[in-house]
Structure 1
Amino acid sequence: MQLKNTLMVAALFLAAFTSCKDDKDDEATPTPEEEMQTLSGEVSGTWTSGKTYMVSGDLVVPAGKSLTIEEGVTVVMDTTAKPEFIVLGNLYCTGTAASPIMITVPEGARTEKNKFGALWGGILAAPTCNELVLDNVILEYGGATTTEASASVKQGLYKAESGERLPALWFSNVNGKFVVQNSIVRNFQEDAFYIEGGQSIVANNKFYTTGLTNGEAINYKSGTQADVAFNLIYSPNTNGLKLSNSGDRTPQAYIIAYNNTIVNAGWRRPDIKGGSIWIEKSVHTDLYNNLIANSRFGIKRDTKNPEDSRSTISNTFYYGYTQEGVDQFQSSTEIVAGANDVTTTTAGGNDPKFVSYPLSTAGNNATFSTSWDFHLSADSPALNKGTTDFTRHFANGLVIHGVTYTSPAPATYIGAMGTK
């Protein structure tokens, strides 16, 4: 691991250090050189619990090696260098609910002006990356636009072109495995996840403030098998889920997405496309128990290149505050009706009765309040309307780095959160 201690920390990074210090009364206050390290280039081994790592240039986990990031680590990206985090080997980020890992920018750059990030690249897992885990991780303020000088462009990664807005996570090994759970992805310029390969579980996460003029929260392509469940997705620019078999990699994309809550999707896209869940190009998808509120459209297909006919869609709950929104989730050749859907034709009908969220919030609002609570009240019509009568890919587990990760069992309610 290319790593050097620094005796002087630039003023740009001072705020990040201050916010991450341990305030225990009985311990000596660590000096900056003890608490913080500055690094770039090849990295592997272990980043130790509770430390802050300042990143001054692109990071590369070499092929055949692994990097483990422990709970409570803060990784601060230089907003001038806008580093990319390239994973040729394996990456294991295992935080806890009480002590998550944060990959961020200096505190002074976390502003309304920079709401859609673009201040560092993203985590780019190359086809040589076999395993990746993000558990209790906060990813924020990334999604920088590539140039001809970008490491990802030079190495032929992601779309390998200048002018591309990087996702928070790109995974591309059709024989690889990854898990993202209990995490937050926010403040990214375009897609949060762009997945072109592998077996995966994406569960119990929050996605918000993503996509300035384009982009989905979770974007799956061919070569993938996934369980996507219990995610809260708020105001993606276009869709919460974009599911496609584009690329024609083997295996065919087969995505099982269930018990997700998608709110305010699609209204910020300048041109009309989708606005909740988009399905296309022979993707095999099973969609169950998803709650779609105040989004621009219902589940929408590409009529010229639709989903695999074996796909199953059922038990979707719809709510629209405006009549325009309600009209655009009614069944048509484009809007896919499912079995046992819970729906309405009246604006304001079918109130899901979230514990704390003003349903009158404008559809194009992208500012998320952590005071909102998308659990269901005891009298919510979304309770007891879900189905558990289906098989998920990884009910018996996906083994990564010796740990068995299991996709969560489906719930009898619709949406990502039941009652408290």
Structure 2
Amino acid sequence: MKKLQIFTLGISLLALAACSKSSDKAVVSVPQIQIGKAIPNTGTLPAGTYKGTFLANQTYTIGGDITINAGDTLLIQKGVKLNMTNGANIIVNGDLVSLGTKDAPVTITDPRRVKTTGSSTVGQDSAYVGGWGGIYAGPTSKLVVLKWTHLDFGGAALKALPFPNANSLKVGAQYILYFMNPNGVFIMEDSWMYGSPDDATRFYGGFYNIMRNTMEKCGSNGGDGFNAKGSAIGNMAYNLIIGGATNGTKTASDGTTAGECQFTMYNNTYVNDGFRNNGVYGARSGSVEIENNSRALVYNNLIVNCDFGVRIAGGPGGAKVYLADTTYNASDAITKTAYGYNFYYADNASIAGQFVPTNVAQPVVTHPQATDIPNMAAFLGASYTFGLVYDGSSLVGKNNPMFVNFPLPAANNAWVTQCSVDSYNFHLQSGSPAASKGTTTAFQPITTGIPIDPNFGSSGITLPGKDMGCYQLNGTGNQH
């Protein structure tokens, strides 16, 4: 009990110190910490309960599910590699903290799999199959922190439910990240996700800061990237999402009566998303989706060759009601859904005809915005009724964002199959039409409930940037 009290006091002191320095802009090097005893690296680690610390720069082989009990903490130091075998999962009933660094990231992977470059198709790329399982954090998990951490080839099917009363979690689920404590905190910063057979993430309730990450090849024949549900609240910003099956970022108030799902989504870069959804065309998005009584602020995003632009769902479709909440409530973290200052580029007329999504399969209430590039309010005119089909062919090839290294226009419909970063560089050139076209004043990120701490919280909530997308010309934003 005394050790636990000391550890708790340490967290409190760190949090207080971080808060007192919140106005400082200097980046201070933080020494690696250790919690409890070191976990011995002696052969394959069997399934069982674990707490303590995986030591820096060591490679561990995991033979079965790792379970963190309520009240316990498992910490992963920089440079650790976890080779997950037998479809192993990390079941978090306590706290999980992964503290990679830029120079020594943490890697959690299936050692049987090797990344492939170039064209990527389901059935020929093992990224879409599922290798190791995922990180499943239950109702007693208070904190999950992932910093500079690679999550590669996850999504093996769950063989048994890890905890009772889980929102929409069933045997056979293939998520990589799952979190469901409405009072908990989930931090994912400067990390990577590569490959998944279904939704890469599912979040039900809690407070989130999801910033400066890179996501590749997520979803096989469907599945979203960062998929927030329930009463989850937070930020999704400065992420690069390429080659996702359906949405890159999404909100939906599914599975809760505790309150609405509310997120800011800003300064993200979405490339080639939405082309592997085997559901009804138009029933989902290809970049941003706001649906089912959720709210969002969507600004400064760079959306290139994605199946659909920012989609604000407008009503019933199929067996489910997708209507987003566009009403006003002064007491909420996000008082009203709002969006603008988003940048679009398309290499064909079908994509350009969905910069402002239309009622292809379900009603939408997405309004053309004069602050977007191109100016969709002017292009569609004052008489346009949201949801109507329009001809976007004259927009094809316009406003090339001028990436440092990525071929646009893309030859031979390459946006369908180029699903990973490879050796490309999605930073903007100095003369990009996306430079200095964002807003830094129209909105602010959510800070409520998100601790600022070098180890047990966010490293810092990056404010909106004036350049569209996740890479800023001044070197801030995504650091990959």
What TM-score results when the alignment is normalised by the length of structure 2?
0.75
Change (3 A) 1:250 1:289: same
In 1, Cα distance between the equivalents of 2:75 and 2:130? Answer: 25
* Residue 145 of structure 2, aligned match among 120, 133, 138: 133
Q: Which amino acid aligns with 1:368?
A: S
The separation in 1 between residues aligned to 2:342 and 2:252, in whole angstroms, is: 20
Kindly state the Cα deviation for residue 293 of structure 1 after the two structures are TM-superposed: 0.7
**In structure 2, which of residues 340, 343, 354 is the aligned counterpart of residue 328 of structure 1?**
354
**3-state SS, counterpart of residue 269 of structure 1:** coil
- Please tell me whether residue 90 in structure 1 is matched to residue 95 in structure 2: yes
Distance 1:402 1:351, change over 3 A: closer
CA distance in 2, matches of 1:352, 1:215: 27
Alignment of 1:17-416 (within 5 A): 38-78=45-85, 81-107=86-112, 113-147=125-159, 150-152=160-162, 155-157=164-166, 159-164=168-173, 166-271=174-279, 272=281, 273-304=284-315, 305-309=323-327, 310-330=336-356, 332=358, 334=364, 335-343=366-374, 345=392, 346-359=395-408, 360=410, 362-389=414-441, 390-394=443-447, 398-399=451-452, 403=457, 405-416=459-470
Larger strand proportion of the pair: 1
User: What SS is found at the alignment partner of 1:115?
Assistant: helix
Maintained 8 Å contact 1:397/1:406: no
Deviation string, structure 1 residues 350-377 (Cα, Å, up to 9, x no partner): 1111111113052221541431111111
Aligned-CA RMSD value? 2.2
CA distance in 2, matches of 1:395, 1:129: 19
The answer (yes or no) to whether the contact 2:311–2:356 under 8 Å persists in 1 is: no
**Gapped regions of structure 1 (runs ≥ 5):** 1-32
Residues 34, 269 of structure 1: alpha-carbon distance in 2 compared, 3 angstrom cutoff: closer
Aligned pair count reads 382
CA offsets, 1:312-333, max 9 Å, x none?
1010101101111101113656
**RCO higher in structure (CA 8 A, sep ≥6):** 2
- Aligned equivalents of 2:420 and 2:182: distance in 1? 34
What amino acid is aligned across from residue 274 of structure 1 in structure 2?
A: S
CA distance in 2, matches of 1:136, 1:86: 20
Residue 398 of structure 1 contacts residue 406 of structure 1 at CA under 8 Å; is this kept in 2?
Answer: no
AA aligned opposite 2:96: L
The answer to whether the 8 A contact 2:225-2:249 is kept is: yes
State the distance in 1 between where 2:292 and 2:400 align: 33
Could you say if the C-alpha distance between residues 56 and 336 of structure 1 is closer, same or farther in structure 2, counting changes exceeding 3 Å?
Answer: farther
Return the alpha-carbon distance in structure 1 between the equivalents of residues 296 and 198 of structure 2. Answer: 23
Do the aligned residues in 2 keep the contact of 1:37 with 1:52 (CA within 8 Å)? no
Q: What letter corresponds to residue 315 of structure 1 in structure 2?
A: Y
Distance 1:402 1:212 in 2: 33
Deviation at 1:101, TM superposition (A): 0.4
- Output the amino acid matched with 1:409: L
Q: Which amino acid aligns with 2:439?
A: T
Give the % identical residues.
30
CA contact (8 A) 1:224 1:253 kept: yes
C-alpha contact 1:55 1:83 (8 A) present in aligned 2: yes
Shift of 1:255: 0.4
Distance 1:56 1:322, change over 3 A: same
1-side partners of 2:50 and 2:105: how far apart? 20
Residue 4 (structure 1) aligns with = none
TM-score w.r.t. the length of structure 1 is 0.85
Amino acid across the alignment from 1:71: K
In 2 relative to 1, CA 155–53 (structure 1 residues): closer, same or farther, beyond 3 Å?
Answer: farther
Aligned match of 1:7: none
Contact 1:397/1:405 (8 A) holds in 2: no
- Does the residue aligned with 2:126 lie in a helix, a strand or coil? coil
Contact kept, 8 Å, 2:227 with 2:250, in 1: the verdict is yes
In structure 2, distance between residues paired with 1:414 and 1:160 = 36
Alignment partner of 2:352: what SS? helix
